[in-house]
């Protein structure tokens, strides 16, 4: 296999066992998680090698290789019409295919419009064609998912999958799809930065070329907008903190942070204003923690923090509340006052042990509860109550 993640025939491996470097099928939570991390790493590497269109196609191939017969379509919104950027797999309906190839009016694509406007994936175990406009009803499709791919807080496209057989989307299915979709979003950001670098830079030779390679590797592990660590580097730091905890025996907290109004600001003031706000949020987070802690951007309006080695578990309540208050103070963006709040989910290591993926998932679960309870609040995971 080449260092770009391709095999000798230039094809991307399409089963989890191939992705995590084993010959046997993936079994058990640890192997499955290793495979998912391999998917994310592979997509991140691809972002340094291919165009955005190729990156989208490779991501579609990865997902379809793990599902029964299906097709995948990546839609972009262009001049109020849905247009296909990339399609993998046969739709099995030539007439509908011709309609889709011509582009769909925004109002026509119900299964695109809902996730685009909500920012949340739309899973349909039993797809109902009657929900769609008569011109685009896919009678042959049994199960679908439409996932918004968020770049810098706003959707850049819809990652749609249609299955020809009935299937109930399992948690494992959703983890795989969401990992690929979110990694794709990061990859698209990196690919865009790479293309802009190549346009600005003169032809590189010798040691300067090596420097450019180092810069691209740095970009693969850092958010291109805020320069914070991205998800991959965050997980490395969290795993390292848990290993160090074996000697220190001090608690570790994971914070999952979501800005409550970024989409509204993007819509009212434009994406440049939203980007400026994200950068200021990143700086406030960095100023609110210690050098030994880690602040990362997960993508969109989501940030994560690792708080290392505090004395008592109860101390984290004060730390997190101070952080929430700091984020709630007024901002000035492009000369205009802006008010933004944040919802924060918190997970904490048990007295012994601790798994990085479990901690992050628990913090994400707690964040969901915080947003359901009214936003602008802190919610601890149910496994811990300070």
Is residue 263 in some structural domain?
yes
**CA angle (117 as vertex; 285, 181 as ends), nearest 5:** 65
User: Which CATH number belongs to the domain containing residue 108 in this structure?
Assistant: 3.30.450.40
Is residue 59 in some structural domain?
yes
Same domain for 245 and 137 = no
Q: What is the pLDDT of residues 286-345, one digit of tens each?
A: 999 988 899 999 888 999 999 987 777 678 888 899 899 999 999 998 888 999 999 999
Alpha helices per DSSP H over 221-338: 231-248, 262-269, 271-288, 315-328
Residue whose C-alpha is closest to residue 43's, from 115, 146, 149: 149
Same domain for 245 and 187 = no
**Using an 8 Å Cβ cutoff, are 13 and 7 in contact?**
yes
Highest mean pLDDT among 2-11, 102-111, 132-141, 148-157: 102-111
Q: What pLDDT score was predicted for residue 138?
A: 82
Same domain for 130 and 187 = yes
Token reading at 276: 């400026």
Q: What pLDDT score was predicted for residue 123?
A: 95
Same domain for 235 and 178 = no
Same domain for 264 and 135 = no
Same domain for 239 and 346 = yes
Is residue 134 in some structural domain?
yes
Q: Is the pLDDT of residue 73 over 90?
A: yes
Is residue 203 in some structural domain?
no
User: Element (H or E) spanning 96, and its range?
Assistant: helix 94-101
Say what percent of the chain tops pLDDT 70: 76
Q: What is the mean pLDDT of the chain?
A: 79
Same domain for 35 and 172 = yes
Q: What pLDDT score was predicted for residue 328?
A: 92
Of residues 189 and 345, more confidently modeled: 345
**CA angle (34 as vertex; 360, 363 as ends), nearest 5:** 5
Q: What pLDDT score was predicted for residue 299?
A: 83
Residue whose C-alpha is closest to residue 187's, from 231, 144, 226, 143: 231
Q: What pLDDT score was predicted for residue 354?
A: 67
Least confident of 207-221, 222-236, 329-343: 207-221
Report DSSP letters for 180-243, one per residue: HHHHHHHHHHHHHHHHHHHHHSPP--HHHHHHHHHHHHHHHTB-TTT--B-HHHHHHHHHHHHH
* Boundary of a domain, candidates 132, 161, 191: 191
Same domain for 172 and 50 = yes
Rounded mean pLDDT of 351-378?
A: 84
Same domain for 348 and 273 = yes
Number of domains in the chain: 2
Same domain for 187 and 41 = yes
Is residue 274 in some structural domain?
yes
Same domain for 162 and 40 = yes
Same domain for 126 and 45 = yes
Least confident of 8-17, 120-129, 293-302: 8-17
Q: Is the pLDDT of residue 159 over 60?
A: yes
Q: How many residues does the chain have?
A: 386
The CA distance from 201 to 222, in Å, is 20
pTM of the model: 0.51
* Boundary of a domain, candidates 140, 170, 191: 191
Is residue 6 in some structural domain?
no
What residue numbers bound the domain in which 49 lies? 16-191
Q: Is the pLDDT of residue 261 over 70?
A: yes
The CA distance from 313 to 96, in Å, is 58
Q: What pLDDT score was predicted for residue 262?
A: 87
Highest mean pLDDT among 3-17, 21-35, 44-58: 44-58
Distances (CA, A) of 161 to 55, 115, 367: 16, 13, 27
User: Which CATH number belongs to the domain containing residue 326 in this structure?
Assistant: 3.30.70.270
Q: What pLDDT score was predicted for residue 15?
A: 38
Rounded mean pLDDT of 211-234?
A: 75
Is residue 386 in some structural domain?
no
Q: What pLDDT score was predicted for residue 306?
A: 94
Is residue 10 in some structural domain?
no
Of residues 325 and 15, more confidently modeled: 325
């Amino acid at each position: 296999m080449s260092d770009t993640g391709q095999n000798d025939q230039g094809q991307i491996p399409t089963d989890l066992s191939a992705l995590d470097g084993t010959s046997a099928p993936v079994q058990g939570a640890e192997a499955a998680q290793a495979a998912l991390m391999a998917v994310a790493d592979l997509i991140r590497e691809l972002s340094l090698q291919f165009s955005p269109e190729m990156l989208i196609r490779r991501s579609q191939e990865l997902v379809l290789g793990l599902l029964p017969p299906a097709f995948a379509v990546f839609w972009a919104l262009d001049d109020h019409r849905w247009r296909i950027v990339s399609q993998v797999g046969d739709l099995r309906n030539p007439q509908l295919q011709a309609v889709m190839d011509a582009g769909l009016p925004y109002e026509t694509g119900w299964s695109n419009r809902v996730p685009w406007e909500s920012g949340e994936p739309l899973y349909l175990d039993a797809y109902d064609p009657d929900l769609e406009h008569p011109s685009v009803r896919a009678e042959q499709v049994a199960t679908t998912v439409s996932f918004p791919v968020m770049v810098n807080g706003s959707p850049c496209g819809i990652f749609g999958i249609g299955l020809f057989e009935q299937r109930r989307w399992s948690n494992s299915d959703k983890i795989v799809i969401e990992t690929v979709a979110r990694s794709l979003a990061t990859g698209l950001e990196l690919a865009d930065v790479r293309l802009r670098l190549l346009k600005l830079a003169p032809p590189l030779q010798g040691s300067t070329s090596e420097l450019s390679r180092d810069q691209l590797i740095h970009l693969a592990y850092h958010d291109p907008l805020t320069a914070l660590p991205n998800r991959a580097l965050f997980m490395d730091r969290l795993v390292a903190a848990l290993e160090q905890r074996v000697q220190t025996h001090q608690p570790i907290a994971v914070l999952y942070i979501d800005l409550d109004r970024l989409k509204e600001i993007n819509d009212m003031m434009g994406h440049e204003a939203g980007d400026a706000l994200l950068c200021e949020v990143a700086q406030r987070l960095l100023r609110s923690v210690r050098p030994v802690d880690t602040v990362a951007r997960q993508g969109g309006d989501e940030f994560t923090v690792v708080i290392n080695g505090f004395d008592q578990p109860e101390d984290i309540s004060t730390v997190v509340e101070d952080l929430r208050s700091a984020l709630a103070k007024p901002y000035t963006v492009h000369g205009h006052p802006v008010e933004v709040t944040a919802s924060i989910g918190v997970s904490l290591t048990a007295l012994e042990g601790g798994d990085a993926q479990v901690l992050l998932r628990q913090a994400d679960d707690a964040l969901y509860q915080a947003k359901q309870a009214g936003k602008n609040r802190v919610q601890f995971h149910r496994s811990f109550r300070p």
